[in-house]
Chain A
Amino acid sequence: GQSLEQPSEVTAVEGAIVQINCTYQTSGFYGLSWYQQHDGGAPTFLSYNALDGLEETGRFSSFLSRSDSYGYLLLQELQMKDSASYFCAVRRGSARQLTFGSGTQLTVLP
């Protein structure tokens, strides 16, 4: 089977940096994605890592270590609007479908 683990909650203050970790166990691994979901909203794509290393997109960066089955999402210069749930998702199998983690609720305090 497969499993993904990420913290259920993280709290930080505006302007800070926060890292959300994700560890996974799965067969047929192709890559790790991150999605953001605001309360009551649709999940939206943030980043995808297929290879080891860091991918940077503005204030957000994502990292993958395939040998450690580990990745993280790094959010810099936190803003109130970053308060949301963040999901890691592994892309796996011949059909390369996504399996989502249970999500991390990020609360940004003023």
Chain B
Amino acid sequence: DAGVIQSPRHEVTEMGQEVTLRCKPISGHNSLFWYRQTMMRGLELLIYFNNNVPIDDSGMPEDRFSAKMPNASFSTLKIQPSEPRDSAVYFCASSPGQDQPQHFGDGTRLSIL
């Protein structure tokens, strides 16, 4: 079985540009999570979808960040406009249910210059 697939693996762009990160969860998993990991703040939950519906977006840092899940097999996290402080590793994870283990993708390493 394929795991959680994220793209791109690496992204380097200039501040002010729009950045779109993509995630394909494991087939059959109905919960999807976006996390951000930095040295300073550790692993933070940004937003959580259940059955394609956003359940908790309290971790989204500000209006520049938005996330969508148009169907069960695809989600995007968008940053517009990007800033250098957004540089981090962004992970997507999915799980088959609320109390089930989360399976993480390999992450997108984002650098904003």
- Interface set of A (CB-CB < 8 Å, partner B): 30-31, 33, 41-45, 48, 50, 87, 91, 93, 95-103
- In the complex, besides A31-B99, A45-B101, A95-B48, 18 extra interface pairs with C-beta distance below 8 angstroms are A42-B104, A42-B106, A43-B43, A43-B91, A43-B93, A43-B104, A44-B104, A50-B99, A93-B56, A95-B55, A95-B98, A96-B98, A96-B99, A97-B45, A97-B56, A98-B45, A100-B43, A101-B42
Docked CA distance A48–B93 (Å)? 17
- Interface set of B (CB-CB < 8 Å, partner A): 33, 42-45, 48, 50, 55-56, 91, 93, 98-99, 101-107
Give chain A's interface secondary structure class.
Answer: strand
Given A31-B99, A91-B99, A102-B42, CB of A97 within 8 Å of CB of B48? yes
- A selection of 15 A-B contacts at a CB cut-off of 8 Å is A31-B99, A42-B91, A42-B105, A42-B107, A43-B43, A43-B91, A43-B93, A48-B101, A50-B99, A93-B56, A97-B48, A98-B33, A98-B45, A103-B42, A103-B43
Docked CA distance A56–B96 (Å)? 22
Q: Which residue of chain B has the shortest Cβ distance to A93 in the bound complex?
A: B56
Interchain CB contact under 8 A, A33 and B101: yes
